[in-house]
Amino acid sequence: MCKIEQGSRRLHLQGTKIEPTSLEENFVGFCERCGGELLSTAYYRSGGGWLVAACCERCGHMLLIKYDRSWEWQGDSAAEVIEPRPTSLSYLPREQLETVFSPAELKAMEACERDETYVRQNLSRARVKYDKFERLFGQRIEI
């Protein structure tokens, strides 16, 4: 089953995250569960065509519809809406961050997150430690 983040509508599919190319709402068919209208919520490009996230207006059933490059229907699968996991430094406990990252690395990460000037080498050293942080605390940092 694929997962779609609420808000950003980022698609989590087979270990990859795909950003939507469009958030346009269109009628895309009828719900197999209740017969209500399916409306698109997001469009994604895939290697062989398009993926369309759709939701039933009546029962809220979510699914991912697969189309080829010619917009021929290829099939669909169930989808689940999930809350995005906060990866911003402000959401993470300071004690956990200080366990893995040096003060200079944290300063660079915070500055980068705020689009301010930072020491590139400190941020590079911090990025090498992202996997370690995820392994220890189960949260992925994406700055």
CA 137, chain centre distance (Å): 19
Q: Measured between alpha carbons, how far is 52 from 40 in angstroms, rounded to an integer? A: 6
Torsion of CA 68, 76, 8, 141, to 10 degrees: -90
Number of H helices, E strands in the chain: 4, 8
Q: What is the pLDDT of residues 46-96, one digit of tens each?
A: 888 999 999 999 999 999 999 999 999 999 999 999 887 666 787 788 999
pLDDT at site 8: 85
Confidence grade of residue 115 (pLDDT, cut at 50, 70, 90):
confident
**Closest CA relative to residue 72, chosen from 49, 94, 96:** 49
